[in-house]
Amino acid sequence: MTLWIALAATAAGCYLLKYAGLAAPRRLLDNPWLRRFATAVPLALLAALIAVEALRGEGGQALAWDTARMGGLGAAVAALVLRAPFLVVIVTAAAVTAGLRALGL
């Protein structure tokens, strides 16, 4: 039952947060600092998510270095820098990771 309460509270919080953005006055939304903040926050959250998932250990409770996974991440970053299409980035990262795992790294 506690899970359902947490789920309902989270859903209500997300709805209220979305409503707050729609109900915000225009002069607040036109603030340059707020625009920069709103642009930077999703990038920072995505970078943190990628870092945590890339360094996730066996049980998921600790951080651990996985050479194959880091190689795949590096290959994905290189493909992104070269402006490759998203599908090519994913295939490149998977192929490099699989190759490194096949080599025993």
**12-67 pLDDT, tens per residue?**
999 999 998 888 888 888 889 988 988 899 999 999 998 888 888 877 778 888 89
Residue 26: CB partners within 8 Å, gap ≥ 6?
Answer: none
Evaluate whether 65 touches 36 at the Cβ level (below 8 Å). Answer: no
Burial (CB count <10 Å: 0-12, 13-18, 19+), residue 91? middle
Structure tokens at 16: 């209220």
pTM given for the model: 0.63
Q: In sequence order, what E strands does the chain have?
A: none
